[in-house]
Amino acid sequence: MKDVLARHHEGLKIQIKPQEWNTEGVCTEALLVCKWGGWLTEAGEKQSTAMGANLIDRIYGSEVTRIPRYRLNVETNNERRVIGTAVAVSRKLVNDPTIDETCCTVNEELLGSTQDAKARMEAFAAEVKTVLHSHTPNEIKTYSHLPGIPAIINCPVLPMDRRSPFGALQTMHDMLQELLKFLPTDPTTHLYRDESVELMKRRWDNLATSFYQRKSNTYDTTKIPDVFDYVSYDVCYNQHIFAPYDMYPLFTLAETLSVFTSDGEFGLTTIEKRESASLFATPMLNRIHSDLHEMASSGVIPIKTKSTGSSPTTCAPTAAEVAKPVKSLSLIHI
């Protein structure tokens, strides 16, 4: 946290959340939270640039290589990495490297409020935890029909005696403990984006410690996406410092478990997922319908594109008219 604070990240937020109180109502334990929204990695920038080139080709064809800047409208949510994605796509669309975040309009209502689905998501998270702690033959049989569970049971990196969801959690914990042994100790070790060795050690230590709850012999399944994010990041940018530790078994298992846990946040069945999705997507779909109706009724060529997703892909433009210009193009990235 000291390292993060010293970097003065834009949008940095510090929160203190009370956790426990004594009999007199005095807080005896608090959680200090430091968050700043993240940033777009080099891989994300490359993917965003490719998305911009792909959009031009798919919408306009090979005759057009860039879009007039004034004809493109960009909307995003307020997360820094999303805005960064929008900027990267926009630079490619208009062939202007000077494009910055001022091209984006922040719209917090694109996907509605998570509050509408909060209770549902909390219930699904508890159900996901129950499913992933199953290990007896009867329990495994009960949940084997759920999407993602067969992939976990048959994950190639699992030992034969751990072919169960709970066995997968145990194996991930063992892999995390083994990885900790290979973290760099030399403070002069160069890490991606000048991350300090101390910060790398702390983020992995904290994750490995919080993942396993020793008193109850259970695992915090909400940490699984974090494990996948961490290992993906270090596989891409810091793999050289872990040698001879092979990170790919952990990557494979974390990815398999993360697919189930991330999808399960919105429901374990198709019907549950659809009901949850409607709470988020309805405002955006209404916006798309309204935009299309407006363009059609006004005689403007109806090309408005709205892109959603949390990974690198998004928005905007620069100079010179091109053949067959379109009247307007809007990109919405969430």
Q: Give the residue-averaged pLDDT of 268-274.
A: 88
pLDDT tens digits, residue range 205-245? 999 999 999 989 999 999 999 999 999 999 999 988 888 88
Q: How many Cα atoms are found within 13 Å in the side-chain-facing hemisphere of 313?
A: 14
Secondary structure letter of residue 24 according to DSSP = T
pLDDT score of 317:
28
Give the three-state DSSP class for 2: helix
pLDDT tens digits, residue range 28-55? 888 888 776 667 778 888 998 998 888 8
pLDDT score of 115:
67
Q: How many Cα atoms are found within 13 Å in the side-chain-facing hemisphere of 110?
A: 18
Give the three-state DSSP class for 68: strand
Give the three-state DSSP class for 289: helix
Q: Cβ–Cβ contacts within 10 Å for residue 269, how many?
A: 11
8 A C-beta contact, residue 179 and residue 207 = no
Q: Which amino acid is at 160?
A: M
Which range of 68-77, 116-125, 268-277 scores highest in mean pLDDT? It is: 268-277
Backbone angles phi, psi at 67, to 5 degrees: -115, 140
The CA-based angle 300-306-312, given to 5 degrees, is 140
- Residue 298 reports pLDDT greater than 80: no
Q: Please tell me which residue, 69 or 311, carries the higher pLDDT value.
A: 69
Structure tokens at 214: 């020793």
8 A C-beta contact, residue 303 and residue 326 = yes
pLDDT score of 209:
92
pLDDT score of 109:
66
- Per-residue pLDDT band for 256 (boundaries 50, 70, 90) equals very high
Q: Please tell me which residue, 285 or 249, carries the higher pLDDT value.
A: 249
Q: Which of 45, 31, 48, 37 has the alpha carbon at shortest distance from 4? A: 37
Q: Which of 111, 163, 102, 108 has the alpha carbon at shortest distance from 135? A: 163
pLDDT score of 229:
93
pLDDT score of 118:
77
Q: Give the gyration radius of the chain's Cα atoms.
A: 23
Give the three-state DSSP class for 126: helix
Q: Please tell me which residue, 267 or 287, carries the higher pLDDT value.
A: 267
pLDDT score of 11:
65
pLDDT score of 67:
76
Q: Which of 12, 5, 35, 41 has the alpha carbon at shortest distance from 234? A: 41
pLDDT score of 34:
77
Q: Cβ–Cβ contacts within 10 Å for residue 237, how many?
A: 16
Round to whole Å and give the CA distance between 9 and 79: 13
Q: Give the residue-averaged pLDDT of 255-281.
A: 88
Query: Which parts of 224-269 fold into alpha helices (H)?
Result: 224-237, 248-264
Q: Which of 117, 149, 105, 156 has the alpha carbon at shortest distance from 130? A: 149
pLDDT score of 333:
45
